Structures are given as C-alpha cells and as structure tokens.
Amino acid sequence: MMLKNILIGLSTAALVAGCTAHGDNPGREYAPNMYHSVAYEPLSQIKDEQAGAWANSLDNGRGEYFNSNKYNPNWMNMREPAPHTVKRNPYGWLPYRTGRVSKDSIDIVTAGMKNPLDSTAAIVGEGKILYESYCKHCHGEKGMGDGKVADKYAGVANLKGDSYLKMSEAHIFQVITHGAGLMGAHGSQISPEDRWKIAKYVKALQKQK
C-alpha cells in the first residue's frame, strides 16, 4: 500500500513538473486555443470551414485554421470604411495634422473660397445636427461660448461676438479644419462636406437672437 502511494505521489509530481514552462518549452496548457488563437488574415483567407478540424478542441463545427468572415460578401476580414470616414493621404497620414494657421492669415488663405453648398433648410438642418455633435459642448447651444467645456477652459469663442459676425463661411471652414486659438483641428474627424454644413449653420445661428 505504501509503495502504491509512493508511485502515485511520484507520478503526480512528474505530471506537475511536466506542466512547468522552461527554455523553449511552453509547458502543458489547458485549452491552448485560448492562448494561441489563429489570427484573422486581412488579405489571405482560408474559406474551408473544415480546415484544421483535427486540431480544433472546440465544439463549434469548424476547423482551427478557418479564418474568413463568411458574412462579408468578399469573405474578407477587412471591412469598408464607415460612412463619412475621413480618408488618409497617399502616405497613410491623417490630413490636417499640420501647424495651425494664425488668425491674421486665415482670411488670406481663404480668399476666394466659397461654400459649395446651398443655404437650403435641409443643409442648415444637417449643419445643426453636426454642430450639436461637435461644437455645442464648447460654444453652447446658441453659440454664446457658454458650453459645458467653457466652464473648465476660459476663452471659448462667443460666435455672436462682433469680430465673429464678420467671419466668412470659408473662414469658419478653415478654423474647423486646422484649429485656431484654443480650438483644435477637426479636419481628421469631420469630412469637408460636413465642415461646410457646420459653417452654414453657424452663420444662420449668428442671425438668431
């Protein structure tokens, strides 16, 4: 009986020792597919759902090496960009990560620029939605520079101030794009068309009492 217990103890010790990782040996792992999952390949796809079935310890009816997205029409894991996503340039950079243009030179830069959008109720309405998403928290609902963020950072622009009433839509577009003063650049977050819509709405907002 004692010999049996000794053998059981030695076997248990050997089993536990075999689970220890050392050197190039990763040791024994429980459910290794949880630690070493097969990564999605964005360009090279394995469409055979039974590929590597022999290596799969999960009861999901497919092989371990299947790495495609069958719900994508092209079976690819890369998806089309979300609507209104701002494109990167040919070098892969997000646009408008350059230095800000000084306030004094904005009108020079925007000379001759015109808003390509009409001042229809629909365009202004869409601009209002965008304004409330991107601008209201700083400039306030009526553009008075009294948004919630303005309580934390003094100097948020009052868009109904005398100097701002004279700003063109192109000037507003440029500020949204590159930033000015306390305001950071939003060109990488808002598409050009949406920036023009916001400019339309700001000019309409300035006429409201």
Residue 17: inside a domain, yes or no? no
Query: How far is it between the farthest Cα atoms of the chain?
Result: 99
Counting the structural domains of the chain, the total is 2
Q: Looking at the structure, do residues 190 and 126 belong to the same domain, yes or no?
A: yes
| pLDDT for res 110 | 77
| pLDDT for res 95 | 55
Residue 24: inside a domain, yes or no? no
| pLDDT for res 185 | 85
Q: Looking at the structure, do residues 114 and 199 belong to the same domain, yes or no?
A: yes
Residue 28: inside a domain, yes or no? no
Residue 112: inside a domain, yes or no? yes
| pLDDT for res 19 | 67
Boundary of a domain, candidates 80, 111, 145: 80
Q: Looking at the structure, do residues 42 and 119 belong to the same domain, yes or no?
A: no
Say which CATH number the domain at 124 has: 1.10.760.10
- Determine the Cα–Cα distance for residues 121 and 125; give it in Å rounded to an integer: 6
User: Could you list the mean pLDDT of each consecutive 10-residue stretch along the chain, which spans 209 residues?
Assistant: 77 71 69 62 78 80 83 78 71 56 71 89 96 95 92 90 90 88 85 94 92
Q: Identify the domain containing residue 200 by its residue range.
A: 103-206
| pLDDT for res 89 | 63
Residues 6 or more apart whose CB falls under 8 angstroms from that of 195 comprise 173, 176, 177, 186, 187
* Tokens read off for 115: 């808003």
| pLDDT for res 113 | 85
C-alpha angle with apex 198: 195 to 200, nearest 5 degrees? 115
Boundary of a domain, candidates 10, 45, 80: 80
Residue 16: inside a domain, yes or no? no
